[in-house]
Amino acid sequence: MTVIGEGDDVLLYLDGKRTYLVRVEEGGQFHTHKGYVELGELIGRPYGSSLVSSLGVRFTALRPLVRDRILKTDRRTQVLYPKDIGYLLIQLGVGSGSRVVEAGTGSGALTMALADAVRPDGMVYSYEINPVFQRVAAGNIERSGLGEYVELREGDVTQGIDVADVDAVVLDLAVPWLVVPHAYEALAGGGVFASFSPTIEQVMKTTAALDGLPFVEVGTIELMLRNITVAENKTRPQTRMLGHSGYITSARKIL
């Protein structure tokens, strides 16, 4: 059984709407409106253990998953939602040993998901043109423990990609159509291109660029997520839902 050690991150679970990503330290305290908890009490205990706050409220210490780290990142940019990231990972076909180019890094949310998928034998080459965003992403990635599977590069991929024979290229930037020719050159045969764009105009330009090169399976999808309230005689879809976040366009390179 894996136990919590000093310096480990835990996700303190209060309820379905309130969770907190904290680092465990001897003598450390975490303060909330429900009182404070003594983080040192978690050292040596297994994940899933509970502790009680100074006001008698119970918190549970969970092992942080990649999706928890994505939702709790230090954000300077809008991050992709797990609904979009999950689809991208399947569509890209990445796994252990895959080599992936990503641009831009943003806050590192997708970067962490990619790194988790390609480890221990793969690598993510993540390009970001803004050094401020890159510094924030570097901190998020290092805290996740996935830094050794990521190579952060400062550069403009509309001017070229200096990595070759990669399995996938994934873009989250304003002008993905300008990168399509460079992505084609960087991809291995059969490699997958994908881009995330908030507007349909971006999709149209990207699709036109893909259609102008030897790509197949060119397509675009949009994902929506709706939670369900489950209770006796009251089970129904919730009124609010996570609707449009962006369009995902993907294609596969042929020779």
pLDDT bracket for residue 230 (50, 70, 90): very high
Instruction: Report the SS3 class of residue 7.
Output: coil
Q: In the chain, what percentage of residues exceed pLDDT 70?
A: 99
Average pLDDT over residues 223-244: 92
Q: How confident is the model at residue 77 (pLDDT cuts 50, 70, 90)?
A: low
pLDDT tens digits, residue range 4-14?
Answer: 999 999 999 99
CA distances from 13 to 48, 54, 83 (A): 10, 16, 21
Assign residue 129 a region (left: φ > 0; alpha: ψ between -120 and 50; beta: otherwise): alpha
- What residues have CB less than 8 Å from 26, skipping those under 6 apart? 6, 40, 43
Q: pTM for the whole thing?
A: 0.88
Output the average pLDDT for the chain.
Answer: 94
pLDDT band at 75 (very low <50, low <70, confident <90, very high): low
DSSP 3-state of 49: coil
For position 240, what pLDDT does the model report? 87
- The pLDDT assigned to 70 comes to 83
Domains located in the chain, CATH noted: 9-64 (3.10.330.20), 68-253 (3.40.50.150)
pLDDT band at 194 (very low <50, low <70, confident <90, very high): very high
What pLDDT, on the 0 to 100 scale, is given for residue 73?
A: 77
